Homo-oligomer: A and B are copies of this chain.
Amino acid sequence: MPVTQRQIEEWLREDLGHHDVTNEVPGETTGRLVAKENGVVAGLDAASAVFEYLGVDVETTVSDGDRIEAGEAVLTVVGPTKDVLRAERVAVNIAGHASGITTRTREAVDAARTVSDSVEIAGTRKTTPGLRGVEKRAVVAGGGDSHRLDLSHMVMVKDNHVAEMGLENAVEHFRERVSFATKVEVEVEEAEDGKRAAGAGADIVLFDNLPPSDVQQGVELLPDGTLAEASGGITLEDVPDYAATGVDIISMGSLTHSAPSLDFSFRTG
């Protein structure tokens, strides 16, 4: 779902406070959200919604996922000066945050493409509290895969489940309890366990915290039709090595929890 009115109200409220004097400016103005560095843009719907909440008209000149260059305007607004100024900081913050994620994702995808035409770069559930939807869509805008959106989207059989029930039993346990609409992924920490998980019915096997060589070995043991994912502290530099293992998906928490913001400025008049 797009950002809600309630979210925007919270965002504006925490920035404006009870009595803001500096924005009490009469008249109308135009404004442009301008990139200060090269990157890939996202969060335009959220940034637009902030202005629109205050009755300011918005026109976007690029789309989420477009590469932009320093100096390029991504959004133009027209409205009462006081409302343009009130929305400015929040709009810049959300666009910068989302575009930072998208830019970082794009870099990871590009790094993967040097080695593999098909491997997916995916996000994780390591998102900033309150911004799950914005950040997942930013990953997708960068050419990435959203991965599971929330705990109800896909079952992940974790090491503690396996420790308690055994791998095969754990897979069966969850298969029986989830909808046919839900995929089941199994997290393993040894290459051979991937094969067992696939045999037990896993749709996807996650090789967690393994070096590329072990991942490759695990992938080779998997039957056709079972997807393989690598995860665990993988950095931008590691991407080609993991991409070369034959995995289908490389997931990286850093896409959402550690991407630096993309720098934008807002220029009025």
Where the two chains meet, the residues of A that have a C-beta atom closer than 8 Å to any C-beta of B are 1, 4-7, 9-25, 86, 89-90, 92-94, 96-97, 100, 120, 122, 125-133, 136-137, 140, 145-158, 160-161, 164, 174, 177-183, 185, 204, 225, 227, 229, 233, 248-249, 253-254, 257-258, 260-261, 263, 268-269
Contact = CB atoms under 8 A, between A and B. Distances in A.
B183 A181 contact: yes
A190 to B, nearest CB: 19
B122 A179 contact: yes
A199 to B, nearest CB: 15
A100 B256 CA distance: 13
Contacts of A14: 18, 129-130, 132-133, 150
Nearest to A149: B18
B261 A96 contact: no
Contacts of A16: 1, 150-152
A259 to B, nearest CB: 8
Given A94-B129, A149-B181, 16 more contacts: A4-B9, A14-B132, A15-B132, A15-B150, A16-B152, A18-B137, A18-B150, A18-B152, A19-B152, A22-B156, A93-B126, A93-B129, A147-B181, A153-B182, A225-B225, A257-B260
Contact of A120 (B125, B129, B132, B180): B180
Contact of A20 (B145, B147, B151): B151
Contacts of A11: 129-130
Q: Can you list the 10 inter-chain pairs with the closest CB atoms, starting with the nearest? A: A17-B152, A258-B260, A17-B150, A257-B261, A130-B130, A1-B16, A20-B151, A11-B129, A14-B132, A18-B133
A18 B6 contact: no
A137 B129 CA distance: 16
Number of copies of this protein chain within its complex:
6
Contacts of A261: 126, 253-254, 257-258
Given A13-B1, A21-B178, A179-B145, A93 B127 contact: yes
Contact of A21 (B24, B155, B233): B155
Given A21-B174, A129-B131, A174-B22, A4 B13 contact: yes
> Which of A17, A19, A146, A261 is the most central at the interface, judged by chain B CB atoms within 10 Å of its CB?
A19
Nearest to A43: B129
Contact of A97 (B18, B128, B164): B128
Nearest to A3: B129
Which residue, A1, A140, A263, has most C-beta atoms of chain B within 10 A? Answer: A1
Given A1-B13, A131-B130, A152 B20 contact: yes
